[in-house]
A and B are shown apart, each in its own frame.
Chain A
Amino acid sequence: MPWELDSDRPIYTQLMEQIELKVCAGLYPPGGRLPPVRELAREAAVNPNTMQRALAGLEESGLLYTRRTSGRFVTENQDMIRAVKSRLVREHTRDFLNKMGRLGFTHPEILEAVSSLMEENKNE
């Protein structure tokens, strides 16, 4: 999963979102250890201080924690990961609905489009 960053929003908030995504996708499994800051910064091609700030933000929210001397880990608390997942689903769905709204679709039309697309994908 590559790091995708927009150019018009603060970098550290975007890094927080991307790490949340990676945790939800199981790329960084619950209880698993994160790569060191330097490595993450290099991977995302961002300033190490910015990456550090994003990680500190996620620690504050409880998704990550630091074990002194042995590094930074993903929480083992499944409820918390589920909570992040459902928040992400809501956010992405809201974005999608807003976009469709701007295109002039009504909710029943959107629902129909979604279910017919799901049907198509099922047949594939």
Chain B
Amino acid sequence: MNNAILKCENLTKKFGPVTAVDGVTLSIPRGRIVGLLGPNASGKTTLLKLCNRLLTPTAGQVSIAGHAPGVETKKLVSYLPEKHYLNEWMRAADLIEFFGDFYPDFNRERAYRMLEKLALNPRDRLKTMSRGTKEKIQLSLVMSREAPLYLLDEPIGGVDPAARDYILNIILENYNPRSTILLSTHLIADIERILDHIIFIREGRVVLNKTVDEIRAESGQSVDSLFREVFKC
């Protein structure tokens, strides 16, 4: 049978005259950590939103484990959006209960363990926390689900280098060999060691789809420097 957890066929999204995602065809297997890499405004966030049905395609289709995005796929996909959407008045512990009520695959124990590592008091309210801390909490919540597919939009965007290591660690520690993580970023050097597969997108189109070691063996350079070469301004 088909082992792909995520498939896009000729996926296209237009906003009026602007084509944000342009005929993307992809198939991502289970058990991978995949980097969706591209410069600003290349269509990364739009692609992830299409996978979550926050947007509907202009043409083409997405399927997750064979289902079109919708109610069914919300059970399968753990999504970290680019925006903060958590209620500011809530305490960290409230959020854990809230997520636990929503998602049957949410592992409360794992979430509390992560808070502990962050030296966060579960009684603290979100509004008293810095932006970086909120980002870490949001990612911890998303990674506390035991989902077959994680879609992470810029998980390491706004945090300092030490926190970046913490986040990469979270991803590696909670990674299970049956799950796939697709994450978008433009900070490649920090992250390429943990990726299996790289997808470069530019102006809504896939321009490269290879493994990290293929790229290094073929070009003799890191993914980061290849990226700088491909997307040179």
Contact = CB atoms under 8 A, between A and B. Distances in A.
Interface of A: 5, 7-12, 41-42, 45-50
Contact of B196 (A5, A9, A50): A50
B216 A48 contact: no
A48 B216 CA distance: 18
Contact of B216 (A10, A41, A49): A10
A11 B172 contact: no
Given A11-B212, A12-B213, A42-B172, A47 B189 contact: no
Contacts of B33: 47, 49
Interface string B183-201: 0000001001111100000
B128 interface: no
B203 interface: no
13 contacts: A7-B192, A7-B224, A9-B217, A11-B213, A45-B193, A45-B194, A46-B193, A46-B194, A47-B33, A47-B172, A47-B193, A47-B194, A49-B33
B225 interface: yes
Nearest to B226: A8
A12 B225 CA distance: 19
B3 interface: no
B217 to A, nearest CB: 5
B220 interface: yes
- Contact count band on B: 20 to 34
Interface of B: 31-33, 165, 168-169, 172-173, 175, 177, 189, 192-196, 212-213, 216-217, 220-222, 224-225
B216 A9 contact: yes
Closest 7 A/B residue pairs (Cβ): A7-B222, A10-B213, A10-B216, A10-B217, A46-B193, A47-B194, A8-B221
A42 B212 CA distance: 18
Given A42-B172, A42-B173, A47 B196 contact: yes
> Which residue among B172, B173, B189 has the maximum number of chain A CB atoms within 10 Å of its CB?
B172
Contacts of A11: 193, 212-213, 216
Contact of A8 (B165, B168, B173, B222): B222
Contacts of A42: 169, 172-173
> Which residue among B31, B175, B177, B216 has the maximum number of chain A CB atoms within 10 Å of its CB?
B216
Contacts of B194: 45-47
A117 B63 CA distance: 65
B180 to A, nearest CB: 11
B172 A8 contact: no
B37 to A, nearest CB: 15
A49 B32 contact: yes
Contacts of B168: 45
Given A9-B216, A11-B213, A47 B169 contact: no
Contacts of A10: 212-213, 216-217
A72 to B, nearest CB: 16
> Which residue among A5, A10, A47, A49 has the maximum number of chain B CB atoms within 10 Å of its CB?
A47
Contact of B177 (A5, A48, A50): A48
